[in-house]
Structure 1
Amino acid sequence: MSPTSVFVSGANGFVAQHVIKLLLAKGYAVVGSVRSATKGDELKELVKSDKFSYEIISELGDKPGFDAALKKHPEVTGFMHIASPVGFTATDIEKELIRPAVDGTVNALKAITEYAPQINKVVITGSVVSVFGFGPHFDGNKVYTEDDWNPITYEESLSNPMFGYFVSKKFAELAALEFIEKEKPNFDTSFVIPCYVFGPQAYGVKNKKKLNLSNEIINTVVKLGKDDKIESFGSVFVDVRDVARAHLVAFENKRAVPKRLLLISEKFSLDSIAHIINEKFPDSSVPKGDISKDVELEKSIQKFDNSKTKEILGFDFIPLEKTVEDTVTQVL
């Protein structure tokens, strides 16, 4: 009997690479989808495993791409849908952000249902932006849990790319739930919902000048000089290695069906990141970081309770100190 094979969409992404690394380490074979042969070959070179192969799906909304990829791989019994558009510069919000996220998710589920009936487990990667309230919907007294939904409407989302991104994640998740409710497919589904994802790259850093969107927050602090001002900004984070582990739990553990796993380790601020860098790397040029400012800043950060998720996961999240140290070590 051949080992279980897992299809991972958006395979060259920051989170997906960690998921692939973990899957391979646990003996799974992996088929990843990438947008071009160049990206596929680059990833193959990084992964260095004969258990990894790739298929090209040039656009998320490309259903024939998913169809063809799954038809070619009857050995695949699991599917992790990690690909989704990220960006805050869209000019056509619906076309560039919302439709690709929603259509990409539904197309993947349709392709599985039609051409891969052997797949029995699907894990969909969402985002905390589908849970939290932001901007006019921010509520400093509310404690957000796995059961909450961001109240931003479709109409509001078209007003700016930030809201457009938030809604793209929310409606992609809702579209998946609607598909499951209506089609009653023969696969189980779990959702992994991370917040800002920090941490080292799975296979080293090629371009240290520009990291992925979340890690660029740490990189911005790394690049500051002693006399530079630290912007007052904070939110919640989770380590990418914990996100990868959570995908494996969602895939392997029946208790994760049909749950939303809310992945949040703790709060952070740019000052707390700078403070940790100074402690761990005393020769750095980063400003000291005034963590006394965090008390006031925390009023603008959402409160959360993800105890239900933690119980299912069965592991402790990596703390900010360790995440920052490991990320900066790799960048430096």
Structure 2
Amino acid sequence: MSVLVTGATGYIALHVIDLLLKENYRVIGTVRSKEKAAKLEKQFNYNKDLTFEIVEDIANLSAFDHVIKNHANEINYVIHMASPVTFTADDFEKDILIPAVNGTKGILESIKQYAPKSVKKFVITSSIAAMMDLTNPTAILTEQSWNPTTWEQAQENGIAAYSGSKKFAEKAAWNFLEENKGIVDFKLTTINPVFVFGPQKFDEDAKGKLNSSCEIIKEAMFAPTESEIDKSVFGSYVDVRDVARAHVCSLHNDELTGKRLILSNASFTKQNIVNIMNKRFPQLKGKIAPADNSELPQGGRVHNEKTKALLGYIFKDLEEIVVDMADQILKVQEQ
């Protein structure tokens, strides 16, 4: 069985690809250049079941045509992860919104044209951002929630643009299925994670600046002792390995078909992260901000009991995540 994974160089994507290979799937990954493909081939030890296709610009609606056409008879599943992950741009519409939406529409149209019957499942990596109302930060979020941002409002700032891009891309997928009943055979599941923490799949990728979520933990490790904890940094968290597992489970678990899955374990504050580091890494004590156990996690905005019941596995807790991340970062620092 073959799985197409778009955006194969991504933080979550690398964990997804690793799981797929371990479960004996053949994987076709899309990357933006031959150089990126070469790096991944080496990282995955030139696995014969992993190949790559170059897709330079997902904003081009025909960007995936050659990929689907070349593999039309072998692709059984698609995990669509390619989408801009940035909060800064010169033109929010051109650089964030349009690539996210066109990337989703484009690959769906390519499947419709070249592989309407061979693809059985389409899994899209969305986000809690597709569900949250930026004007109502205390709203409870469930699997039925939708971000109310309009296309115009999504161009007001970087956070609105990223959140809007996730909403409009996910909406495009659900609308496509509704409009093409009987034409395509595949089913849809969306994965909507909160802040994603956890180790990089490969140690070498833990060097330098990390993705925005992981930087929260890395910053806590290297902030000066006298630094005040940023109390504006809080939310809900989930481990990258649990997110990857949900993607793979969605391919073969019929109970997940047609579902939006919120991937979230519990809430956190930056102080919680610092407390764990003080407790578990004595070599950092006195070099990082001190522990303060008087601060409790911010309340539970995310209610995803349905998702947890459907997936049926226990998510990793914050302490395990922070320890695994810090161990990896300290390891590469010593190299």
Residue equivalent to 2:294: 292
Matched, 1:322 2:324: no
Amino acid at match of 2:218: N
Residue equivalent to 1:145: 142
Q: 1:234-278 deviations in whole A, cap 9, x for unaligned?
A: 111110000000001111101111000110011111110011011
Residue equivalent to 1:24: 21
Return the TM-score normalized by structure 2.
0.93
Deviation, structure 1 residue 208: 1.8
Matched, 1:236 2:233: no
Does the 8 A contact of 2:206 with 2:329 survive in 1? no
Residue equivalent to 1:69: 67
Residue equivalent to 1:204: 203
- Mapping for residues 177-188 of structure 1, pairs under 5 Å: 177-184=174-181, 185-188=184-187
Does the 8 A contact of 2:97 with 2:161 survive in 1? yes
Deviation, structure 1 residue 229: 1.9
Using the alignment, how far apart are the partners of 1:272 and 1:236 within structure 2?
Answer: 12
Residue equivalent to 1:313: 311
Residue equivalent to 1:264: 264
Matched, 1:5 2:7: no
Using the alignment, how far apart are the partners of 1:173 and 1:242 within structure 2?
Answer: 21
Using the alignment, how far apart are the partners of 1:262 and 1:207 within structure 2?
Answer: 26
Using the alignment, how far apart are the partners of 2:160 and 2:280 within structure 1?
Answer: 36
Using the alignment, how far apart are the partners of 2:176 and 2:13 within structure 1?
Answer: 24
Deviation, structure 1 residue 207: 5.1
Does the 8 A contact of 2:200 with 2:206 survive in 1? no
The runs of at least 4 aligned residues of structure 1 exceeding 6 Å deviation read: none
**Cα-Cα RMSD:** 1.3
Residue equivalent to 1:221: 220
Which range is displaced more, 153-162 or 36-45?
153-162
Using the alignment, how far apart are the partners of 1:206 and 1:257 within structure 2?
Answer: 33
Change in CA separation of 1:207 and 1:257 when aligned onto 2, cut-off 3 Å: closer
- Mapping for residues 107-146 of structure 1, pairs under 5 Å: 107-117=106-116, 118-134=118-134, 136-138=135-137, 140=138, 142-146=139-143
Using the alignment, how far apart are the partners of 2:60 and 2:325 within structure 1?
Answer: 34
Residue equivalent to 1:303: 301
Residue equivalent to 2:100: 101
Aligned match for 1:56, one of 54, 70, 79: 54
Deviation, structure 1 residue 132: 1.6
Using the alignment, how far apart are the partners of 1:60 and 1:272 within structure 2?
Answer: 38
Does the 8 A contact of 1:30 with 1:53 survive in 2? yes
Q: 1:74-99 deviations in whole A, cap 9, x for unaligned?
A: 21111000111011111211111111
Using the alignment, how far apart are the partners of 1:45 and 1:316 within structure 2?
Answer: 32
Task: Give the aligned length.
Answer: 322
Amino acid at match of 1:215: C
Using the alignment, how far apart are the partners of 1:85 and 1:241 within structure 2?
Answer: 21
Change in CA separation of 1:174 and 1:43 when aligned onto 2, cut-off 3 Å: same
Matched, 1:39 2:36: yes
Using the alignment, how far apart are the partners of 1:63 and 1:6 within structure 2?
Answer: 21
Amino acid at match of 1:265: N
Residue equivalent to 2:91: 92
Using the alignment, how far apart are the partners of 1:211 and 1:153 within structure 2?
Answer: 30
Using the alignment, how far apart are the partners of 2:260 and 2:206 within structure 1?
Answer: 33
- Structure 1: runs of 5+ lacking an equivalent: none
Using the alignment, how far apart are the partners of 2:149 and 2:294 within structure 1?
Answer: 32
